[in-house]
Amino acid sequence: MASVTVTPESFSFVEFTNDEIVAAADQVRSQVGMDDRELLIEVNEESPLARVELTSLEPISLTVEGGAFEDPKKPRHLSPVLTQLAVGTRLLQAGDRLDADFGAPGLDDDVDTRMQTVWDVYSVARLARSGHPAHQQRWRYHWRNRHGFSDQADQQFDRVWSAEGLHWSDLVDASDAALTEDL
């Protein structure tokens, strides 16, 4: 089994421990079937933002702003559930990028906010189906902010949320269809 490495080794600004992050990441890595992949996680503990960026596929490397792992009800403390959500989402997207049939943009290609939202929704839904807690309404709201508050946008959200085996082109089609108004 490949390892999970977290930097820094100790935290001074937040009440995270390296062992807690490794345990949460290792659990979700196994849950999504990527426990054979090396995982490096670099945490910026001073940032309250929640960005998580996939920076490398070999090994899989994530740059994380501390807010992504933080418990919203207990600031500066780790939420194992949110840690798994953040790591699991990007692990699934790394797997998508490693699968030539999926057809994802390259790691250096820009993915606009609208398409990143679609991909995040698809990834979180896959995590939810594997047993991870996910707040569907929260993700529907993110979708609506990028695609509008319409029945058509909601239909496409439902399609992506419940789908298995989609490809990048399917995500693009769902996003485009959500933005198209039937007159």
Q: For 103-145, write each residue's pLDDT tens digit.
A: 999 999 999 999 999 999 999 999 999 999 999 999 999 999 9
**Segments in 6-112 forming alpha helices (H):** 18-31, 80-98
What's the pLDDT at 183? 42
Rg over CA atoms, the chain = 17
Distance CA 3, CA 6 (A): 10
Alpha-carbon distance 25 to 80, whole Å?
9
CA angle 129-131-133, nearest 5°? 100
Instruction: Say yes or no to pLDDT of 88 above 50.
Output: yes
Average pLDDT of every residue of the chain: 95
Can you give the pLDDT at residue 2?
A: 85
Q: In what order do the strands lie in the sheet with 39-44?
A: 4-7, 39-44, 60-65, 52-57
φ, ψ dihedrals at 116, nearest 5°: -65, -35
Tokens for 33?
């079937």
Beta bridge partners of 2: none
Q: Does the pLDDT at position 22 exceed 50?
A: yes
Question: Which residue carries 């062992």 as its tokens?
Answer: 19
Q: Name the pLDDT band for 1 (thresholds 50, 70, 90).
A: low
Arithmetic mean of pLDDT, 88-96: 97
Q: What is the pLDDT of residues 63-81, one digit of tens each?
A: 999 999 999 999 999 999 9
For the question of whether the overall pTM of this predicted structure is more than 0.85, the answer is yes
The verdict on whether omega for the bond into residue 59 sits within 30 degrees of 0, i.e. cis, is yes
